[in-house]
Amino acid sequence: MKATTFSSYEAMIKSTIEPYFRKKGYTLQGLEARHIQQFYSEKLKTVKPNSVIHYHAVIHQALKYAMKTDLVAQNVAMKVERPKKNDYQPVFLDADELKQLFNVIMGTRLELPALVAAFYGLRRGEVCGLKWDAIDFERGTLTIKHTDTSLQVDGKTKSSMRTLPLVGSFAEYFKEVKAAQELNKQVCGNCYNYEYDGYVFVDELGNLMKPDYLTGYFPQYIKKHGLRRMRFHDLRHSCASLFLANGVPLKQIQDWLGHSDFSTTANIYAHLDYSFKLLSAQAMVSGMTLPETVDFGSKWETVAEKC
């Protein structure tokens, strides 16, 4: 299990699952299927089905292990009906829509994180986990090697670690941020939080920007300013779609985004690339001889002639 997955499961247990069942007074041995079903029903009033599906996965696995170690006689979660998944359609912004978005968030705390996410296709944890030692101003490179979850900062998997060029004005953007951080340290003195010293995205007091801030505040802010509903993660999708629109092969997009498996990239983005479909159609026409033109006319024409 990835560290980020473990952290998200741990957060669910501590913030939602454990407090609920503790308040109800349910014990492990006394837990029944109806208790879990009631938990799902109550949570569906405030969260989406996908969230409850994640709760179910955690509870199911926990009870499976409890049964394996003889702590319970059966896994009662197997008797519970989990909600159906709600399919979220990703939002893909084109270049003009991204420009409009950047104008809206200009001058806010969201500006540089959103620019980085859109141009580099970074995940929210990769944005928040970005450190100064990952930016090489001399070579003009940006290395993605850390991710910040809601609970901790982790190293990246081999496939997610990648070195990308500093495109456009990003070198200047980052230099301005670094200079501002140094000034903040001087002004704040002992009040500055040095725990996250070395991270790019910290506020004036040195507090680290958290992924949940981007998840919650970004869609709220852009909606307030008249833009269509989208998640911060959709900036990553928009990055990939713009690559495809400009003829970048899926394999190169996989490397840029840090997907561990090519099928992940293909499953998410291949439907956007209509040019691939045209090439496939042309290949079929070239490789398979179509029959001579036959009569696809109406059979009623023959009947009409006889009449």
Give the pLDDT of residue 8: 78
Lowest mean pLDDT among 71-85, 112-126, 280-294: 280-294
**To the nearest 5 percent, what fractions of the chain are helix, strand and coil?**
60, 5, 35
Is pLDDT of 45 > 70?
A: yes
CB 170 within 8 Å of CB 142: yes
Nearest CA-CA partner of 260 in 189, 163, 159: 159
Alpha helices in 106-249 (DSSP H): 111-120, 124-128, 170-188, 211-224, 234-245
Helix (H, G, I), strand (E, B) or coil at 154: strand
Instruction: Tell me the pLDDT tens digit for each residue of 106-115.
Output: 999 999 999 9
Tell me, what's the pLDDT at 3?
Answer: 63
C-alpha to C-alpha distance for 240 and 121, rounded to whole angstroms: 7
Q: Alpha-carbon distance 217 to 239, whole Å?
A: 20
Q: How far is CA 229 from CA 92, 220, 223, 225, 234, in A?
A: 11, 9, 6, 11, 10
The average pLDDT across 82-89 equals: 75
pLDDT confidence band for 156 (50 / 70 / 90): very low
> Which residue from 32, 214, 260 is spatially nearest to 117, judged by alpha carbons?
214
The answer for residues whose C-beta is within 8 angstroms of residue 274's C-beta and 6 or more apart is none
Name every residue whose Cβ is closer than 8 Å to that of residue 11 and which is 6 or more positions away in sequence: 149, 150, 151
pTM value is 0.66
Residue 151's pLDDT is 44
In contact, 26 and 38? CB cutoff 8 Å: no
Q: Is pLDDT of 157 > 80?
A: no
Burial of 281 (0-12, 13-18, 19+ CB in 10 A): exposed
Give the alpha-carbon dihedral of 97, 233, 41, 71, to 10 degrees.
Answer: 170
Higher pLDDT, 294 or 172: 172
Percent of the chain with pLDDT over 90: 52
pLDDT recorded at residue 265:
64
pLDDT at 20: 94
Q: Look up residue 51 and give its amino acid.
A: S
Instruction: Please give the CATH number for the structural domain made up of 95-239.
Output: 1.10.443.10
The ranges assigned to domains in the chain are 3-79, 95-239
Max mean pLDDT range (6-15, 76-85, 207-216): 207-216
pLDDT of 294 reads 47
Q: Tell me the average pLDDT across 273-294.
A: 51
pLDDT grade for 153, boundaries at 50, 70 and 90:
very low
Unique residue bearing structure tokens 């506020």: 203
Q: What are 177-208's pLDDT values in tens digits? A: 999 999 999 999 999 999 999 999 999 999 99
